[in-house]
Amino acid sequence: MTASAFGPAAEPITIDVWSDVVCPFCYLGDKILQQAIEQFPHGGAVQVRYHSFQLNPGFPAGEAIPADEYLAKSLRMPAAQIAASHAQLASRGAEAGVEFRFDGSFMVNTLDAHRMIHFAKAAGREHDMVDRLFRAEFTDGLNVADHGVLADLAAELGLSRDGAAEALATGAFEDDIRTDLAQARELGISGVPFFVFDGKRAVSGAQPIEMFRKALDLSWQDRAAQPA
C-alpha cells in the first residue's frame, strides 16, 4: 500500500495521548513520538489528539512548590533517588532535544493548564500549546497554574490573550476535561504518558522511538489489510 492510498477523504491514523504538563516522562514521550512520526513514511496521514490527565488532582489550586520539595515530602523520595532520576531523564531528554532544568520546576494543580490546551485546540494549535506548556514547566521554570502566565503563553502562540484569560476566569472547557478523565478511567489508565494507536494498540510511558515506529507500522498495515 502506498501513501497515495490515503486520499483527502481517507481517515488518518489517530494517536490519542493522555498526559499531564507536570510529568517529565510525558514531555519526553511526546518528543519521541513526534520524531517517530517524522521518520514514518506516511507521517502526513497521522493525527495526534491530546487528552487531559491529572497526576495530582488534589493538589491545592493556586499553590506552587518546587517539584523536588514535593517529591521529597509527599512521595518520601530520598535526595539521591531524585538526583539519579533527574540525571537519567536529563540524559534521555538531551538525546531527544529536550532541555530539562528540574531545579526550576514546580508542582501545581494542572487543571487550568489543561483548559489552555483545549482553548488552543479550538484554534488548531493544540500541540503547540502542549509543547509550550511542557517547556514552560521543565525549561523556563514558569508557574503553569498562574493565570497570567497561561494567558501570556496563549498570546505568545498568537492566540487571544483576552480570550485565554476569559476561559480561565470562567472555568471553560470543564466538560471536555472531565470527558478526557472519564475516558482514562474507562481505559484503566493510571499513569501517563499513555498512547493509543487507532483505538487498538497502546504504548505506555516514554518508550524508545522503535516502539512508536512499530505501533505506527502495525497501524498502517492494519489499514492496508482493510478492504477497499
Q: pLDDT digit string (tens) for 121-157?
A: 999 999 999 999 999 999 999 999 999 999 999 999 9
Angle (nearest 5°) at CA 47 between 43 and 166 = 135
- DSSP-assigned beta bridge partners for residue 46: 13
Identify the pLDDT of residue 5.
46
Q: pLDDT digit string (tens) for 68-94?
A: 999 999 889 999 999 999 999 999 999
- Whether the per-residue pLDDT at 4 is higher than 60: the answer is no
The per-residue pLDDT of the chain, averaged, comes to 94
Which pTM was predicted?
0.94
* 19 contacts: CB under 8 Å, gap ≥ 6: 26, 29, 30, 50, 51, 53, 130, 192, 193, 194
pLDDT band of 206, cuts 50, 70, 90: very high
d(CA 72, CA 107): 12
* 9 contacts: CB under 8 Å, gap ≥ 6: none
124 close to 47: Cβ distance less than 8 angstroms: no
187 close to 200: Cβ distance less than 8 angstroms: no
- Domains of the chain and CATH, by start: 3-225 (3.40.30.10)
Q: pLDDT digit string (tens) for 5-18?
A: 444 347 899 999 99
Burial class from Cβ neighbours inside 10 Å (0-12, 13-18, 19+) for residue 135 reads middle
Q: pLDDT digit string (tens) for 106-125?
A: 999 999 999 999 999 999 99
d(CA 103, CA 181): 29
pLDDT band of 212, cuts 50, 70, 90: very high
**All cell numbers assigned to 127:** 500541540
Strand 46-52 and strand 13-19: the pairing is: parallel
Q: Determine the distance from the C-alpha atom of residue 215 to the mean position of all C-alpha atoms in its chain, rounded to a whole number.
A: 18
